[in-house]
Amino acid sequence: MQKIDPKYYPILLLALGCFFYFPFLGRVHLFDWDEINFAESAREMLVSGNYTRVQINFKPFWEKPPLFFWLQATAMHLFGVGEYAARFPNAVMGVITLLTIFFIGRRLVDARFGLLWALGYLGAVTPHFYFKTAIIDPTFNYFIFLGVWFLSQRKAWQAGLFIGLAILTKGPVGALLPGLTFLLFWGLHRFKPVLSIGQMVTIVLVAFGVASFWFGLEVMQHGWWFMNEFIAYQIKLFSTPDAGHAQPFYYHFVVVLLGCFPLSILAIRFLVPKTSALTNPQAAVNSESFRLWMTLLFWVVMILFSIVKTKIVHYSSMAWLPVSYLATYHLYQYLTNRIRWSRWTTVGLLVIGCILGLALTLAPIVGMHTDAIIPYIKDPFAAANLQAKMNWQGWEWLIGAVWLLALITFIVRLRRHTQSAAIGLFLSTAVCLWFYLASVVPNIEEFVQGTVIRFYESKQGQDVYVEPIGYKSYAQLFYFRKQPPVNPKTDDEDYLLNGPVDKPTFLITRLDRAKDFRQHPNLEIIKEENGFVFFRRK
């Protein structure tokens, strides 16, 4: 990169972002639950014409505010209802994020720092992957990050604006994360003035005003019922584990360590707040003081979501941006001869890299030889899933194998050829993920849910009921393209099984939930395939 004029770095990052994030967005069906759930809310906005109330199954959905769904609905207006449109907003946000952190890095240090930071984020496993999904969090994380950035800059109305947008994207946690980070920063400075009273009031008023654009409108139009349900859900999420999402306290630390590779290993050395950065809290922000902000934000995210009872991979995704900054800070400190390289960094990169490289190599091999492993799988649903016919070409294992060799090569070279090896490490990871998402993930999706998705798609446009029984899913809503009005009785499983249904009715369940339904006098099996059992009401 030394031969490229730094003034062209933004163009380079724009090109890389477009190349890596936009292709193949529609190659794989949306995954149940979250991807389909969010895309369905956007689709129902288009179908109903109601853009002010979030809905699922054309009924109020109080789990999330609407900003991200507005972005998805806009994309669906442009590209049509489908996977590409549902994932398009995050791909755009991916490019914007790369450019944003480059410009912030250039302002804090120099263009080389900004470029390394952006390339590192492009080449980290889960950050790269999530920019190609229909999950809310990449967009939410961007707003939170900018809220904290402008807090560190003492720019009140800008901080309030992005905190307000974060609230509009995911709810009160959009204010909680930057708020707790600021309180810790303030506390470490022994509560010396960081912001003036006027600045604090401005942040609160602007954030409240932006959030009220929808929350206030909702209350005026529909009263407090929806808001009460929304708040109750947020409390429930914090205090009780959602079905299937109870995990140990350390869960998110493992997720970030593995998922944010290689940045996670590079960041470890600087995860402890540096007390020497505790100078004048109102001084102009620099790389050292911003390091403190990023360290505090990291620990706020990790501790808060380790306490939360419901644990999902992307809940701790806000930690990825602080990790990326701290990893870049580590590399730059070594590049400028301010620290010595630690052999433990090399060991950590090799160990985690080999684990991930072997996993990506073995996954296609396992997929090509499912007959050999099915007899050893005790879960009947999982075993039946693996019977799906997948379209393996035979070379897919090479993606992980070549990446593993590249990892070892670049990691070994990091100490003596730090900049070129780091860039090689980041870009090789991005290339690996580009190929993997295009060729391997479609096969994984096929055995997870491909059969049932195709069944829903086959019923589009028909005047029938298509519903899951015995398990929760959102797939029937999006892939059947369910239309209003919705018969409220179809929410009642007893009605679907025993009631006087007024349309042809198709019911789907998982193999491990099918025992009682097989004997039901009102049901007949129409097919059983890849872990799913399909019934028709008699």
Same domain, 238 and 119: yes
382 and 455 in a single domain? The answer is no
Residues 289 and 387 in one domain: no
Judge contact between 276 and 287, C-beta under 8 A: no
CA angle 527, 529, 534 (to 5 degrees): 40
Domain that holds residue 101: 6-336
Whether 61 is covered by a domain: the verdict is yes
pLDDT in tens, 325-367: 999 999 999 999 898 999 999 999 999 999 999 999 999 999 8
Pick the last residue of a domain from 439, 460, 489.
439
Per the omega criterion (within 30 degrees of 0), is the bond before 485 cis? yes
Q: Would you state the pLDDT for residue 241? A: 64
| Omega before 262 within 30 of 0, i.e. cis | yes
Buried b (16+ CB within 10 A) or exposed e, 131-148: bbbbbbbbbbbbbbbbbb
Task: For residues 422 and 475, state if they share a domain.
Answer: no
pLDDT value for 2: 59
Let me know whether 201 and 295 are in one domain: yes
Is 444 within a domain? no
359/401 same-domain check: yes
pLDDT value at position 499? 87
Domains in the chain, number: 3
Looking at residue 486, its pLDDT comes to: 83
Report long-range pairs for 228-231 (Cβ below 8 Å, ≥24 apart).
Answer: 229/60, 229/62, 230/62, 230/63, 230/171, 231/172
Q: Is 508 helix (H, G, I), strand (E, B) or coil?
A: strand
Q: Are residues 431 and 304 in the same domain?
A: no
Q: Kindly give, in sequence order, each residue whose CB lies less than 8 Å from that of residue 223, ignoring residues fewer than 6 positions away.
A: none
pLDDT of residue 242: 60
The answer on 124 and 43 residing in a single domain is: yes
Q: Where does a domain end: 439, 459, 481?
A: 439
Q: Are strands 465-468 and 505-510 parallel, antiparallel or unpaired?
A: parallel
- Note the pLDDT of residue 374: 85
Query: Does residue 446 sit within a domain?
Result: no
- Residue type at position 121: Y
Are 249 and 377 in a shared domain? Answer: no
Question: Does residue 373 share a domain with residue 320?
Answer: no
**SS3 of 320-380:** HHHHHHHHHHHHHHHHCCCCCCCHHHHHHHHHHHHHHHHHHHHHHHHHHCHHHHHHHCCCH
Q: Phi and psi at residue 274, in whole multiples of 5°? A: -90, 115
Would the pTM count as exceeding 0.95?
no
- pLDDT for 106: 96
pLDDT 10s per residue in the chain (538 long)? 557 888 899 999 999 999 999 999 999 999 988 899 999 999 999 999 999 889 999 988 888 899 999 999 999 999 999 999 999 999 999 999 999 999 999 999 999 999 999 999 999 999 999 999 999 999 999 999 999 999 999 999 999 999 999 999 998 899 999 999 999 999 888 888 888 899 999 999 999 999 988 888 878 877 777 777 777 777 776 666 664 556 788 889 999 999 999 999 999 999 987 765 555 555 556 778 899 999 999 999 999 988 887 778 888 999 999 999 999 999 999 999 898 999 999 999 999 999 999 999 999 999 888 888 888 888 888 888 888 888 889 899 999 999 999 999 999 999 999 899 999 999 999 999 999 999 999 999 988 898 999 999 999 999 999 999 988 999 999 999 999 888 888 888 888 899 888 889 999 999 888 888 888 889 999 999 888 999 998 8
Q: Are residues 352 and 495 in the same domain?
A: no
170 assigned to some structural domain? yes
Cβ atoms of 328 and 105 closer than 8 Å:
yes
| 305 shares a domain with 390 | no
Is position 332 within any domain? yes
Q: Could you tell me if residue 307 is inside a domain?
A: yes
- Asked which of 273, 306, 336 is the last residue of a domain, the reply is 336
